[in-house]
Amino acid sequence: MKLAKSANFIRTFFLSLTLCCGIYLLLFYLQFGASVVAEWWVRDVYWVKDSIADNIHDKKVVVISGSNSLFGLDGEALEKETGLPVVNMAGHGGLDLDFYRFKIDQIVGSGDIVIIPLEPEYYSRNNPYSKWFLDNMMAWGKDYFFSLSLIDGIRFVFHAEPERVIEGVRTKLFRKEIDTRKDVSREALLLSAKKIWDGDASAWSGYNYKSIDRYGGINVVGGPTRNAVFEISSYRSYFHDIQLSDYFIDKYFEIKTLVEKKGAKVYLIWSVTGKNKKFNLFDVGEQQRLIGFASQLQEKGIDIYCNPASFYFHKDLFFNTGYHLNSLGTIVRTENLADCLADIDNNLFRGAYDFETVLQKVQHQEKVVKKVGSPANELL
């Protein structure tokens, strides 16, 4: 009798648990696309970028990372230097490496070159479950969620805040508009972007698809703002004391394997950094720390390309943060990236860093662009 009661209890418990899980999964599904507070502009920007990529039918250069590459890359100039169409797929530093894996899987084809100038924070990130990333994928990243494996999908749901799920469902059921920026059609948005490109060059319209140029990037005249100066001068230590995480290593190799299976090439390169006392590449000790970081990567079988000094700039070349270059910084960064890609293509990159020569070169480039605003290397 007792065994029968115990069996009934266990059966009832698991049936109830299954029912509760089923209801929660249904609620989780229903909340996708709800007008909750989120970075809807990032969704809009990727609508534009995806359209640009879809209209390139040849080998291409794909740039993907956080916002240090959303800003600070001249797609037109890089296209002229490489002879290949360019699409800038860089977005927001809150996006996870796995989101970039998802985008790479969507757009990369045979013969493409994938450039990944990762910000330092990515190297030490331990998982993809930041609140920012979860909330935004739940708002506008439905396609990304359904690209996940069953196990990763379950983990995603497990890490999502139940309060956020309920908020999304309530917003949909009661037609409550918390954030109306989501209510724009993809077709209308792309038509608007094309009209901007057909007119004057894209100007800074804030964090908005209207700021995106026809290559997928943002190129801003002006700056630095007070925030950029404060960030760079006060506390940005960039690659100082970065600890490699197992998550980064595993995800990088997943991306590398994916790219190579598609018949493309992938290059991890140094991100943009700003000159300051906490990150001083003129100091031999700081140089040795970067060499040590590159060695840590190489010990794991990961190459990082280009000279970090090539992308190390004075605060006057930044726009509004310690990662976002203005139009002057964009000129120098693009020229130096093109030179690095040429060295890689001609098997001239050896991984040794001549800091002194490159730092002097960049200082000269900075003086030139500040004076005349012309492509820096043309005047060397």
Mean pLDDT on 339-347: 89
Q: Which helix (H) or strand (E) holds 30?
A: helix 2-30
pLDDT-derived band at 378 (thresholds 50, 70, 90) equals very low
**What is the rounded distance in angstroms from the CA atom of residue 174 to the CA atom of residue 378?**
60
Query: Does 165 fall in a domain?
Result: no
Total structural domains in the chain? 1
Q: Indicate which CATH number applies to the domain containing 206.
A: 3.40.50
274 closest CA partner among 227, 235, 229, 322: 322
pLDDT of residue 374: 53
pLDDT of residue 174: 83
Query: Does 173 fall in a domain?
Result: no
Mean pLDDT on 23-43: 93
Q: What mean pLDDT, rounded, does the chain reach?
A: 91
Query: Does 363 fall in a domain?
Result: yes
pLDDT of residue 351: 67
Q: Kindly list the distances between the CA atom of residue 333 and the CA atoms of 316, 347, 366, in Å, as whole numbers in the listed order.
A: 14, 21, 10
Query: Does 144 fall in a domain?
Result: no
| pLDDT at residue 155 tops 80 | yes
- Name the token pair of 132: 């920012």
- Name the token pair of 154: 């379950």
Entry pTM: 0.92
Pairing verdict, β 86-88 and 273-274:
unpaired
Q: Kindly list the distances between the CA atom of residue 324 and the CA atoms of 96, 315, 352, 372, in Å, as whole numbers in the listed order.
A: 19, 10, 27, 21
Mean pLDDT on 208-222: 95
pLDDT-derived band at 36 (thresholds 50, 70, 90) equals very high
Q: Which residue range is the domain that position 357 belongs to?
A: 40-130+183-379
Residue-wise pLDDT tens digits, 257-310: 999 999 999 999 999 999 999 999 999 999 999 999 999 999 999 999 999 999
Q: Which of 3-17, 49-63, 263-277 has the lowest mean pLDDT?
A: 3-17
Query: Does 247 fall in a domain?
Result: yes
- Name the token pair of 330: 């964009």
Query: Does 113 fall in a domain?
Result: yes
Q: Which of 9-13, 40-44, 54-58 has the lowest mean pLDDT?
A: 9-13
Query: Does 151 fall in a domain?
Result: no
Query: Does 304 fall in a domain?
Result: yes
Which DSSP category does 318 fall into? B
| pLDDT at residue 133 tops 90 | yes
